[in-house]
Amino acid sequence: MQIGVETSRAVENKRVFVVSGDDITRTVLQFMLHDENETHELPDLSSAYAKAIDWKPDLLLLSLEIVEAQGAAVLGEIAAQLQGPKLMLIAEPGQDALARTYLKSGAHGVLTKPFTVEAVRRKVDILLGRANNSMVQLQIMPGAFK
């Protein structure tokens, strides 16, 4: 079932890798993104590197725990191995500030729990370079057109 999917995005072939040791996080993000993206859930970076040989990702969603365990240098390693995808860190509540410190080391964004379909898709779309075609609500002040 496709929920709120723009047709052009459903046929566009953007590939997203969700890399996390947490099965629930991977499954939730895969479910939220699979309608508009080719989304693959992977438990670790070695699995991502192996999959990327034949299936280069456009975006990598990476658990902050993996970065913390391997150090900031892993972000450079990912850039060298995968050559080109954007990188968004997945953070637990309260880890947002910590995750943002890695923006200087190569991460392009942060996705903080709890997830909502709209927020996840919006942030992913931004990093995938998709134009935001949503309507902007304007508030007209009384007497503005006299």
For 65-111, write each residue's pLDDT tens digit: 999 999 999 999 999 999 989 999 999 999 989 999 999 999 999 99
Q: Using CA atoms, how far apart are residues 112 and 57, in angstroms rounded to an integer?
A: 21
Answer whether residue 14 is part of any domain: yes
18 has a pLDDT exceeding 70: yes
Give the pLDDT score at 22. 97
Give the pLDDT score at 114. 95
Give the pLDDT score at 141. 52
Task: Kindly report the CATH number assigned to the domain that includes residue 17.
Answer: 3.40.50.2300
Give the pLDDT score at 142. 59
Answer whether residue 54 is part of any domain: yes
Answer whether residue 45 is part of any domain: yes
Residue in this structure with the two tokens 């990327």, named with its chain if needed: 52
8 has a pLDDT exceeding 70: no
Answer whether residue 1 is part of any domain: no
Give the pLDDT score at 144. 46
Domain span including residue 107: 7-127
41 and 26 Cβ atoms separated by less than 8 Å: yes
Q: Which of 130, 131, 133, 132 is nearest to 37 (CA)?
A: 130
Total domains, the chain? 1
Q: Using CA atoms, how far apart are residues 138 and 126, in angstroms rounded to an integer?
A: 22
Give the pLDDT score at 13. 81
Answer whether residue 26 is part of any domain: yes
Give the pLDDT score at 125. 96
